Structure 1
Amino acid sequence: YSSLNPQGTATLQTYIIDQEGHIEFPVLGTIKIGGLTRKEATTMLKERISEYVKDPIVNIRLTNFTVTVLGEVNNPGTYTVEEERISILEALGLAGDLTIHGIRENVFLIREQDGVKRFTKFDLTSINVVNQPNYYLEQNDVIYVEPNPARIRSASYNQNYVLIISAVGTLATIAAILVK
């Protein structure tokens, strides 16, 4: 929703959708937009606002579009995206790309729809990855990059073993020199 400020320029109004899918809109009161597509919500708001404003312009955007990238990437985490359209490749780019331990053939998209988690496997080595139906992400999607077997094995033992073995070897060498 855009309104004019005292300087005569338009300002963007942000509305938070509560758990039940409602927003509090000035003059119109509580409006349920949860469960509507963006187009349906825009049409409904235009109809409701047109009772008070001639030819209203309504533009609905998500301001907190987030995706989470986990697993074998350089910077795992949750990312807020300015645009509402981001591909799986762009999201991996935000996370600093895959590490050398990531399996490029086993990248998973986890998406919750109607309370059910759905998994889609991507093979990033295939040119056809851009033609997959879930190539473009949706709000709150999670991407998981599977680690390769070497990384899994290395996670099963203490990463400090190499340092400990080296220290013990050095102490044994020093002891051998001092005993002579």
Structure 2
Amino acid sequence: MPDGRPQTRIQKKNTDAIREAALDVFSTHGFRGATLDQIAKAAGLSKPNLLYYYPSKEAIHVSLLSDLMTTWLAPLKQIDPNGQPMEEILAYVHRKLEMSRDYPRESRLFANEILQGAPRIRAALEGDLKLLVDRTVQIIENWMAEGRIARVHPYHLVFSIWSLTQHYADFDVQVRSVLTGEPPMTHAGDFLDHLYRKMLTPA
């Protein structure tokens, strides 16, 4: 709301409609290709009505990205340094797969922002995300030093999990085109379990 007051039921309904519509439009067309007219039409509102809630296209985009960063960081925060290393890493892989399955539009929104150079979330990437990844890397390095998992480059281990799991959301059309007749993630979890167990099991 412009004045910060609590929203009425109708105002919340309209705000939710705008955000849902914007998520569809941004994830399909990217920030540059999206327009306020498209978002207003998809939300079932007039453009002036939309502008009552959000002053610009960028304001909607930033709001969605802010919430998305919280969602995106949550699975990494759940890694327990006192847990069993292999199971903690595989549980993280599965949480990321679930996010790709459950939040494909959000994944594409994030990917589009990154491809543009992350102008609206660079501070979050260099702040909260980096701190969390650094913490996770320290956990992984401790496990390796204890001989509980094989030695790998810890940052690139995290990056590989991001890329392998997010592929199912960002390249959904390609995956579905190749896997005709089979749901895209039917065997993904089992395959990634096998891959990371083989990679991380100490010699």
TM-score clears 0.5: no
**Could you say which structure has the higher helix fraction?**
2
Q: Flag the structure with more relative contact order, 1 or 2, with Cα contacts below 8 A and sequence separation at least 6.
A: 2
Could you say which structure has the larger radius of gyration?
Answer: 1
**Could you say which structure has the higher strand fraction?**
1
TM-score (normalised: structure 1): 0.35
